[in-house]
Amino acid sequence: MVAALCPSHIHETAQAVPAFPGAERQVEFIGPPGVGKSAIYHAARARLGRRGSYRTAQEGRFLAALASLHRVSPLQRLSYLSAFQLPRVGEVYARRLAVKSSEDSFRQTLHAQEAFLECCSEMARTGFGDAFARFARLPIMLEELRDLHLWTRLPSEVHILQQDGLVQKGWVCARASREAYFSSVPKPGAVVLVAAPPEVIVERLRTRGRRIHAHLGLGDSELHAASVDAAEAFDLAAELLRRRGVPVLELNGEAPLTDSAEKVAEFLRNRVAWQEAG
């Protein structure tokens, strides 16, 4: 089992975590399920425009695939370019090419992430939810890591907005493993944390009519307890990520959507301006 880190060891551990190339290109939106982060993500994305520095994960995979075309024969290149034009099919082929062409370097990168991989295994064994929900997380975590590795192939000015990345998935860790998880998770370029009272979250979960695997079968009181627990996990995540040098923007999930979206857009524009100035 992955032992929890006591506070006196957090800073030391954060300094020792090896960088995961590509992770710094990603900005993650985090918060308890049902808090409204997806709505803020989409509204902020619209304000930033579709040809600027920030792209979706899907757009990032296409860019990574285009950067990988030189690795295939001219005939295959034409086939891939034709497939890329097709709805849905294009996304599948783009991801397949990008992943295939980066497999060797991805394996090498993972060798340095032993602590985080152990956290992922521990999450599948002891985390929140039933056995199916826990088991299903492992392939999802692997795909998330693959995406981070693909971002190394993006043009230097491109960054990715992700509403359900690796930091977000840490809320389902057992309490004893959370500090280890958030101290070893590949460090994103920035984080947007959305929070709201548990009763607000429960009402939103009730009205939207669908639940994530970890919430299936839970009544309102259990959802309330899970939302409180998730909020505590994300508070811890924000603290630990700040200690690792990650900028964190905190938002009120009850605030008007337009206000929150503009705050995110300004935060991200300023981040790009600061990086260019640096």
Out of 30-34, 97-101, 218-222, 241-245, which region has the weakest mean confidence (pLDDT)? Answer: 218-222
Q: Is the confidence at residue 6, as pLDDT, over 50?
A: no
Q: Quote the CA–CA distance of 83 and 257 in Å, as a whole number.
A: 37
pLDDT tens-place string over residues 197-209 = 988 888 888 777 6
Q: Provide the β-strand partners of residue 160.
A: 26, 55
Residue 269: which domain range? Answer: 7-277
pLDDT at 51 over 70: no
Is the pLDDT at 7 greater than 70? The verdict is no
Would you say residue 2 lies in a domain?
Answer: no
Q: What does the pLDDT read at residue 255? A: 96
Question: What mean pLDDT value characterizes the chain?
Answer: 88
C-alpha 34/C-alpha 200 separation (Å) is 9
Q: Is the pTM of this model over 0.85?
A: yes
Residue 1 belongs to a domain:
no
- CATH code where residue 203 lies: 3.40.50.300
List phi, psi (to 5°) of 26: -105, 135
Share of the chain above pLDDT 90, in %: 62
Residue-level pLDDT at 42: 95
Q: What is the pLDDT of residues 107-123, one digit of tens each?
A: 999 999 999 999 999 99
Output the pLDDT for position 217. Answer: 73
Instruction: Please count the other Cβ atoms lying within 10 Å of the Cβ belonging to residue 55.
Output: 23
How close are the terminal C-alpha atoms of the chain, in Å?
Answer: 41
Give me the mean pLDDT over the 46-57 stretch: 85
CA distance 195 to 254: 8
Strand partners, 252: 195
Is 185 inside a domain boundary? yes
**Beta strands 54-56 and 159-162: pairing type?**
parallel
Beta strand residue intervals within 117-242, DSSP E? 159-162, 190-195
Q: Locate tokens 């506070």: which residue?
A: 7
* Number of structural domains found in the chain: 1
| Residue where the block lists tokens 């902020």 | 44
Paired residues of 193 in beta bridges: 30, 250
User: pLDDT tens digit string along 182-195?
Assistant: 999 999 999 999 99
Residue with tokens 């959802």: 223
The label of the residue with tokens 């695939």 reads 65
Is 39 within a domain? yes
Tell me whether residue 226 is in a domain: yes
Q: Is the per-residue pLDDT at 8 higher than 70?
A: no
Say how far apart CA 190 and CA 181 lie, in whole Å. Answer: 17
Strands (E), 39-103: 54-56
User: For the chain, how big is the Rg over CA atoms in Å?
Assistant: 19
Residues of the chain with pLDDT > 70, as a percent, come to 89
Confidence (pLDDT) at 178: 97
Say which residue, 150 or 7, is predicted with more confidence: 150
Q: For residue 249, what are the β-bridge partners?
A: 192
DSSP state, residue 153 = G
Q: Is position 202 within any domain? A: yes
Q: Residue 10: its pLDDT value, please?
A: 43
Say what the pLDDT of residue 3 is. 41
